[in-house]
Amino acid sequence: MAKTIDSDELLQQATPLQHQHSHEIQPYGQLIRMPIGLDEEACRESAENLNQLLADTMTLRDLYKKHHWQAAGPMFYSLHLLFDKHFEEQSELVDAVAERIQSLGGIALAGAHDVAETTLIPRPPKGREVVPAQISRLLHAHEVILKEARTMARLADDRDDAGTNDLIVGSVIRTNESQVWFLAEHAVDVPLVRVK
Ligand SMILES: [Fe+2]
């Protein structure tokens, strides 16, 4: 006798399973050994340092979006575009740094609460600031990142972690230095029309 198809059972198979929970498969701070020829301490130190760099880069990225929305004044249009360009470039760095942490066997910070607890960049006000204050805030955030990035690059090099060193020097440091230049030129008090 042919088996009858139970339509309720079929519908159940097609229904999305929701509200499922699991224990963590890797607690934060614990390393998975990846076959990349680096010793465990090198991977651990680089992953820890990169998580600090990640939290600060995510914070700077979000500062750029805040200022992209909240800029005001005669430079609004060009700053609105510049801040968004820098936001996009910082977003690429966030992804590259996070994926490097995973490649080393670590866990990349991801949640806003964890980023807020970790970052060394001062918290901005919820409200709006004038453009010169926005620029000063961004310049300070860049400098926090550049100082720690140079130290981290040196430490990675000391442990033969050339991949981390290359990412920090070739991407993080170069991008941040270039963005500082574009910002800093807006903070130079030169006459707009007539020589003083
Ligand atoms: Fe926008």
Q: How far is CA 37 from CA 33, 77, 161, 192, in A?
A: 10, 49, 10, 57
Q: How far is CA 52 from CA 35, 47, 195, in A?
A: 24, 9, 46
- pLDDT for position 1: 58
CA 108 to chain centre: 10
- Contact between 50 and 94 under an 8 Å Cβ cutoff? The reply is no
* Phi, psi (deg, nearest 5) at residue 25: -95, -15
Which residue is it, tokens 């097609």? 14
- pLDDT for position 4: 72
63 C-alpha vs ligand 1 centroid, how far in Å?
A: 13
- pLDDT for position 91: 98
69 C-alpha vs ligand 1 centroid, how far in Å?
A: 7
95 C-alpha vs ligand 1 centroid, how far in Å?
A: 20
128 C-alpha vs ligand 1 centroid, how far in Å?
A: 16
The CATH superfamily holding the domain 36-186 is Ferritin, core subunit, four-helix bundle (1.20.1260.10)
99 C-alpha vs ligand 1 centroid, how far in Å?
A: 26
- pLDDT for position 3: 65
Q: What is the DSSP string of 2-31?
A: PPPP-HHHHHHHTSPP-S-----SS-TTPP
Q: Which two tokens stand for residue 79?
A: 């700053």
pLDDT tens across the length of the chain (196 residues): 566 778 899 999 999 999 999 999 999 999 999 999 999 999 999 999 999 999 999 999 999 999 999 999 999 999 999 999 999 999 999 999 999 999 999 999 999 999 999 999 999 999 999 999 999 999 999 999 999 999 999 999 999 999 999 999 999 999 999 999 999 999 999 998 999 8
Q: How far is CA 97 from CA 53, 79, 80, in A?
A: 8, 26, 26
- pLDDT for position 2: 62
181 C-alpha vs ligand 1 centroid, how far in Å?
A: 22
Q: H helices then E strands: how many in the chain?
A: 7, 0
- Contact between 152 and 168 under an 8 Å Cβ cutoff? The reply is yes
Q: Which two tokens stand for residue 137?
A: 């805030």
